[in-house]
Structure 1
Amino acid sequence: MGWMSWTAFYCQMDCVKYPRACINENLYMEMANALVVGGYRDAGYVSVHVDDCWMGRVRDPVTGRLVADPARFPSGMHNLARYMHARGLKFGIYEDYGTKTCAGFPGSLGHLQVDANTFAEWEVDYLKLDGCNVDTDLMPA
């Protein structure tokens, strides 16, 4: 069990207008701290999950890797994972099996191996894999 951002913050990316309610690294760090300080971690709420809208709009043009939005996640996802782990929490992340996520960010179709390697390098503990923007016939049974 843990905390997931989607139903509270959806895809709010305007950090100027909504500085305490936008999808950025500070939000996830604050939620991690709240789980620990509030005793939720010790009660079994041990994960923080970053949902859709964390990425930049395009993949790295040289490596083809997903990249975190540099304005909202300036320290990067690996550092965010380390932040969670240092507090005894697991780090979860969102991606989509299709060409784009439900919110229109880069999906994994055609990039499954590079994305799996990227998430492993970032020390992601679990993946929420959505199924938007993909023909279900292309999904493995």
Structure 2
Amino acid sequence: MHFTVIVFASALSVITFALDNGLMRTPPMGWLAWERFRCDIDCEHDPKNCISESLFIDMADRLAEDGWRELGYVYVNIDDCWSSKERDQQGRLQADPKRFPGGIHKLARYMHDRGLKLGIYGDMGTLTCGGYPGTPLDKIEIDAQTFAEWEVDMFKYDGCWSNATEQEQGYPLMSKALNATGRPIGYSCSWPAYQGGLPPKVNYSQLGEICNLWRNYGDIDDSWDSILNIIDWFFENQEVLIPAAGPGRWNDPDMVFVVMTCPTATLQP
């Protein structure tokens, strides 16, 4: 089994003002499905690796039972390809009924019972990067409310199939909508990654006012070359990135890896 443990945020930080939801005063840590499992939905032929309720329950058990939770790895984050291809009759997102038979709310309760938090994924376009229903501007409020009712703890908002104008409107609107639900939901914005990651296109002062963390750069792949490219980019641009980060507002280099070997698994954060 491959078990990917991640640190979502860069340690590059200074004391600055942050999104006023009281969350993520330190860099959030946990596990995210995308790097290892991508959009594998073939549960019939690949049941242990497909994006499903069983996968996230298994990873939650590993964090809770193998000592990772005590080290601060508390987020279990669903990425793309979790939903049904269609919204329900009320226009709400819904989990794929075969792969998530208990639904997202039940999965969130499973996490909370073990002292963990559940994250979920959405996209500003009409479709997600993987081709599932997105959360465009007219769906922001209903989706934020749905996530709150499901007791989700973190939301990653991607930007595939959206343009710069939609992103400029949508990322602040989602921040407002999440806060309006009354549930504390950490907010991860992919906005800067779609703008090249650097000023003047990226306004890091604004990001710190609306987001808890943000993707600065491209996706990580399951290779050391990918990791080194990300490290090099952050190193070369650290003078811009360091002042942007602080309690409640973090640079997100996608994933930071730690490799360990034990008799039953390879742990790769």
Which residue of structure 1 aligns with residue 56 of structure 2?
28
Matched residue type, 1:36: A
- CA displacement at 1:100 relative to structure 2: 0.7
Distance apart, 1:2 and its partner CA: 0.1
Greater percentage in helix: 2
Identify unmatched segments of 5+ residues in structure 1. none
Which residue is 2:130 aligned to?
103
Shift of 1:139: 1.9
Q: What CA distance in whole angstroms lies between the structure 2 residues aligned with 1:68 and 1:36?
A: 24
Q: 1:88 aligns with which of 115, 124, 132?
A: 115
How far residue 140 of structure 1 moved from its aligned partner, in angstroms, is: 2.7
Alignment equivalent of 1:133, drawn from 158, 161, 177: 161
The Cα offsets for residues 96-130 of structure 1, whole Å up to 9 and x where unpaired, read as 01111000100010210000000000000010100
Match of residue 4 from structure 1: 32
Distance 2:117 2:132 in 1: 24
Residue 119 (1) aligns with residue 137 (2)? no
- Whichever residue aligns with residue 103 of structure 1, its letter is G
Segments ≥4 residues shifted beyond 3 Å: none
What does the per-residue CA deviation read over 1:66-86, in whole Å, with 9 as the maximum and x for residues that have no partner?
000000000000000000000
1:41 aligned partner, one-letter code: R
User: How many positions carry a matched residue from both structures?
Assistant: 140
Q: Indicate which of 92, 105, 112 corresponds to 1:65.
A: 92
Q: Percent identity?
A: 53
Q: Rg bigger for which structure?
A: 2
User: TM-score when scaled to structure 2?
Assistant: 0.51
1:46 to 68, 71, 74: 74
Q: Distance in 2 between matches of 1:45 and 1:108?
A: 28
Tell me the SS of whatever aligns to 1:42: helix
Offset of residue 88 of structure 1 = 0.2
Q: What is residue 74 of structure 1 aligned with on the other side?
A: 101
Gaps of 5+ in 2: 1-28, 170-269
CA RMSD of aligned residues (A): 0.8
Cα deviation 1:37-75 (Å, max 9, x = unaligned): 110000110110000000000111x21000000000000
Matched AA of 2:30: G
| Structure 1 residue 131, shift from structure 2 partner | 0.4
- How far has the Cα of 1:16 moved from its partner? 1.0
